Structure 1
Amino acid sequence: MSITDGTFIIEDAAAAIRGYAEDGVEVVIAHGTQYGASLMEIAPDFPDVTFAWGTASDTQGLDNVFAYAPAADEGGYVNGWIASSLTETGVIGVVGPIEAGDAVAYINGFEAGALAGGAAEVNITYTGSFGDVALAAEAAEAHLSNNADVLTGTAQMVVGAVGVAADNDIPWFGTQANQTSLAPDLVVASQVYHWEVALEEMLRLRDGGVVGGQAFEVNLANGGLVIEFNDAFVLPAGVRDEAERLIEGIGAGTVDIWAPAPSGADEVACGLDEVDGDLNFYNWSEYMDPDLITAFQDQYGVTVTEDFYPSNEEMFGRVEAGGSGYDMIIPSDYMVSILISESMILPVPAAAVPNKPNVADTFADPPYDPGAVYTAAYQWGTTGVGVDIGITGEVPHTWGLLFDAELAEQFDLSGKITILDDPRETMGAALKYLGYSLNSTSESELAEAEAVIADAVSRVAAFDSDQYDELIVTGESVVGHGYSGNFLWGFEEGDSEYTYFVPDEGGTIWVDNMAVLTDAPHPCTAFTFMNFLLDAENGAQLTNYNWYASPNAASEQYIDPEVLENPIIYPTDMSLLEFIEDTGDFEIEYTDALSRARS
């Protein structure tokens, strides 16, 4: 193997490339986008020689040229996201070389990750040189003068910028190689290129008679890119775990770093424990421990006002027009995707919510909010049927208790049934009763479900989403449609014998989520409240209070055993359960169908 290094003069590099080919070298690697023109001119003269063009993704149509490049934006995104958790000023500086190749990819990815994580401003300077250390140092100094408190950069000349970071005690993020040795106490993490992943494949192909004509990418999925953390740099609690999840998600394809952020859903620069006024909280009823609110008020010196809604649809209608005055809401899974698409909720800034990695892996990358960019899981549970079996005796586990006239007569239920005042839940229950998916977009199936509910209306005491458990306990109803935790909690107050079940036809599993509205008057207080609720002990206190399952993995050790071991709260058989999904333009059909059925 022969190497010609440090060839910043293009003419010298061209001479080296041609010289290797003339000497009969079988594989000539030109590593650098700046060598492309020379390589493309030389390669046709040596058709039996394999030329590999590094940090490029185009073979220019030549059959004896391989191209290879890093998906540098992937690691850049991860580095940027981590950087957003470290900045206190909200300003991050980037030092780049010539605006080309993987340098641009890394910097673009870094900027996207930093903004997604909550940084307010990412300032980028291209020096116009790959090797001028002094220019890189000048650019870094300029960023510090502009209040940047985190830096990154790429190419050989960053040695100068790293020196400035070290002199000013500024965290640094590296790329291409592990840069920890340049500033052992300040390099946070480095994206490291493993070119051998691409080069070994090229050599394998050449051994098989293929001399070029293909392009290769090294990325997080194939191990060609690796984020190497500096263990000597202590990250805020949970940030590394969240970063590892992000790396895994990008590699697996479940996190799209270039998924467009909805217009209007701008980042907010909120720091840890920052408050910017009192909190206006819009929540489901009986869903928050008042002692937690009191503790938050005492700790942060703010007042929390909590209002309630009976359904996702009513909440959406209240906040859709803007100006509601609310800061935080608790939307269910399918509603989250609607809120994101309508630009109505803010991305969660990592700097303000370092407890977010406490969320269990099951809920950390939900389909309705990939990567949990906009939300953090609050509680989860099921929707089913609660019954006073002290009055009815044993009953079949079917939605027919709500909808079937013969069962109503058999168990004397007429006028003693309550059904949720919620289009998706109620229409979904009728659909499951009929054997359909609760996410059906079939007009005929929805019409059948509408007819089922219309037939039941005369036997229904109330469509209610607030007091269905209390109505059973007080004897005003016997059967109710509602949420697992509310029934279990309410039944503790009664003197009869009660049961709750998910009907044999199947039911709903749901995840409620914390989200901050785009027009929240006090977004920083809201994100601080989110972080407060994601604390391990606070998360457990919430579950011990409302008897809904916690998505907070760190809370498990603090949850009362009687709650943790209750199969109604933590069901072991999930096969009967279905998530409510966003049905797009069909959503209004559910609302209209329930309205017609009740009229």
Structure 2
Amino acid sequence: MSTLKKTAAALIAGVLIAAAPVAAEAKELFLYNWTNYMPPDLLKRFTAETGIKVTLDQYDSNETLLAKLQAGGTGYDVIVPSDYMVKIMADQGLIQDIGVNQMPNFKNVGGPLKAPYFDPDRKYTAPYMYGTTGFTYDSAVTGPLESSWKEFFEPKEVLKGKIGVLNDQREVILAASYYLGVPACSEDPKQMKKVQDLLLAQKPFVALYNSDGTIERMVAKEVVMHQQWNGAAHRTKQDLKTAVYVYPKEGINLWADNLAVPVGAKNVEEAKTFINWMMDPKNIAEATNFTGYMNAVPGSAEFLDPALAKDPAVVPPKEDEALMKMAPGCSAKAKELMDKVWTNVRK
């Protein structure tokens, strides 16, 4: 081939390459979720069914999540805030109205979480898991204990240095408030001083404040008692048969976690696809079977592990249902007092 023909062929090839359609970018989704709170196999199946690759990062408290969003460096497409935090984030313009109530699978949602106080129209969030926050103890070490926060906050000597506490300001202070008969989110400094005194007196019995690894810590018998979410208690009992989850007679926090899309998310359509997919009965059931928490999709029942229904940590006895309380978001004044108490306890 002559030099001229070679040059012409090269030019034509270049034009054809330039004119060829650009390959579609791979779809992706960045999920920011609580630690150990979504089955890896479920995410793999989502990718297989939708072609959307999921990258998962994890956090240990609503406050960690809030601080990340307030700093403006989210980088995430789906987040999992709890009930009270949804209201805070919506009021601060940190999450998007994604019209969850218009999504095809929203028809599967039922019960009180279809229109909860924190998002009554379900514009911002879809329900994920809900449960309670009590405490678990190893009855092989302690023997039977009273169903009271007294066992946790004013424990017996055998538990000195053997109690694990969640690194969660709200959960810890709410539990102490229930025990003392102090209103949730109290704005009274004297009442909050009582809460602080109780938590400070408990400290010699506390091995650590940590929301991660509660299951492994109990199973390994590194602690004898641990404040836990009920799903973690269920999973603890699978390997530690002598573990007992307590519904304290003074009251127990009822919470609901939700799927939301932060403002600034880069993959909004992929996020909507994921959230709608998670409201499918089979998919949300797989999450329940993994986490040990219940969901708000009644149709998921046929896909659930029968062991869940038999565990009172997951499905509370009828007589304990009245003990469950969903605390509202706290006022700025109450939050300031809680911050001071938590700072003094943790220093």
> In the alignment, residue 259 of structure 2 is paired with which amino acid?
M
Matched residue, 1:309: 59
Secondary structure of 1:280 counterpart: strand
Are 1:570 and 2:315 matched, yes or no? yes
Residue 276 of structure 1: CA displacement?
Answer: 8.2
Q: How does 1:246-261 map to 2 (within 5 A)?
A: none
- Distance (whole Å) between structure 2 residues aligned to residue 492 and residue 534 of structure 1: 27
Equivalent AA in structure 2 for residue 525 of structure 1 = E
1:464 is aligned to 210
* C-alpha distance after superposition, 1:268-313 (max 9, x if no partner): xxxxxxx984111111112101111000111222221111111111
1:596 pairs with 2:344: yes
CA RMSD between the two structures: 1.8
Q: 2:236 aligns with which of 490, 515, 525?
A: 490
Deviations 1:139-181 (A, max 9, x none): xxxxxxxxxxxxxxxxxxxxxxxxxxxxxxxxxxxxxxxxxxx
The alpha-carbon deviation at position 361 of structure 1 amounts to 3.1
Equivalent residue in structure 2 for 1:417, among 143, 163, 168 = 163
Aligned residues: 320
CA contact (8 A) 2:100 2:123 kept: no
CA distance in 2, matches of 1:570, 1:459: 30
Amino acid of the residue matched to residue 338 of structure 2?
Y
Match of 2:198 among 437, 452, 458: 452
- Aligned pairs (5 A) from 1:374-389: 374-389=124-139
AA aligned to 2:75 is: G
> What does the per-residue CA deviation read over 1:546-568, in whole Å, with 9 as the maximum and x for residues that have no partner?
11011112212222333134332
CA contact 2:100–2:125 (8 Å) conserved in 1 = no
Distance 2:30 2:230 in 1: 26
The question of 1:582 aligning with 2:332 is answered: no
Equivalent residue in structure 2 for 1:297, among 36, 47, 55: 47
Query: In the alignment, which residue of structure 2 is the partner of 1:509?
Result: 254
The offset of 1:383, in angstroms, is 0.4
Q: Which position in structure 1 is the counterpart of 2:300?
A: 555
Distance (Å, rounded) in 2 between the aligned partners of 1:351 and 1:444:
43
> Residues 441 and 583 of structure 1 are in contact (CA less than 8 Å); yes or no, is this contact kept in structure 2?
no
Query: Per the alignment, do residues 359 and 554 of structure 1 end up closer, same or farther by CA in structure 2, a change over 3 Å counting?
Result: same
Q: Which has more helix, going by share of residues? A: 2
Normalised TM-score (structure 1):
0.52
Q: 2:86·2:119 contact (CA, 8 Å) conserved in 1?
A: yes
> Residue deviations 1:371-396, cap 9 Å, x none?
11111110111100100111111111
- Find the residue that maps to 1:387 and give its secondary structure: strand
Using structure 2 for the length normalisation, give the TM-score.
0.88
Q: What is the percent sequence identity of the aligned residues? A: 33
Partner amino acid, structure 1, of 2:330: T
Q: Structure 2 unaligned runs (5+)?
A: 1-24
Alpha-carbon separation, structure 2, partners of 1:473 and 1:557: 30
Query: In 2, are the aligned partners of 1:276 and 1:523 still within 8 Å (CA)?
Result: no
Cα deviation, residue 358, structure 1: 1.1
Alignment of 1:3-402 (within 5 A): 277-349=27-99, 353-402=103-152
Q: Partners of 2:172 and 2:326 in 1: how far apart?
A: 14
Task: Report the AA paired with residue 267 of structure 2.
Answer: H
SS of residue matched to 2:299: helix
Shift of 1:351: 9.0
Is contact 1:402–1:419 with CA below 8 Å preserved after alignment? no
TM-aligned CA deviation for residue 543 of structure 1: 0.9
Q: What is the Cα deviation at residue 472 of structure 1?
A: 1.2
Distance (whole Å) between structure 2 residues aligned to residue 517 and residue 422 of structure 1: 22
Task: Name the CA distance, whole Å, in 2 between partners of 1:550 and 1:505.
Answer: 25
TM-fit CA distance, 1:577: 1.2
Describe the SS at the equivalent of 1:583.
Answer: coil
Q: In 2, distance between residues paired with 1:310 and 1:591?
A: 17
Task: Please say which of residues 310-319 and 588-597 is displaced more in the overlay.
Answer: 588-597
Partner Cα distance (2:302, 2:182) in 1: 39
| Greater Rg by CA | 1
Structure 1 stretches of 4+ with a deviation exceeding 4 A read: none
| Deviation at residue 322 of structure 1 after TM alignment | 1.5
Give the match's secondary structure for 1:346: coil
Query: Is the Cα–Cα contact under 8 Å of residues 453 and 598 in structure 1 kept in the other structure?
Result: no
- Secondary structure at the aligned position of 1:575 is classed as helix
Retained in 2: the 8 A contact 1:388–1:497?
A: yes
Change (3 A) 1:351 1:492: closer
- SS of aligned partner of 2:159: coil
**1:475 equivalent in alignment to 2:221:** yes
Any conservation in 2 of the 1:346–1:515 contact (CA below 8 Å)?
yes
Specify whether residues 352 and 363 from structure 1 end up closer, same or farther in structure 2 by C-alpha distance, changes over 3 A only.
Answer: closer
Say whether the 8 Å CA contact 2:101–2:123 is kept in structure 1.
Answer: no
Match of 1:408 among 125, 150, 156: 156
Q: 1:569 Cα shift?
A: 1.1
Any idea what SS the aligned residue of 1:347 has?
coil
Partner Cα separation in structure 1 for residue 342 and residue 199 of structure 2: 8
**Which of 529, 535, 540 lines up with 2:280 in the alignment?**
535
Aligned-pair CA distance for 1:453: 0.7
Q: CA deviation at 1:321?
A: 2.1
* 1:314–1:592 CA distance, 2 compared to 1 (3 A): farther
CA 1:276–1:375 in 2, change beyond 3 Å: closer, same or farther? farther
Stretches of structure 1 that go unaligned for 5 or more consecutive residues are 1-274
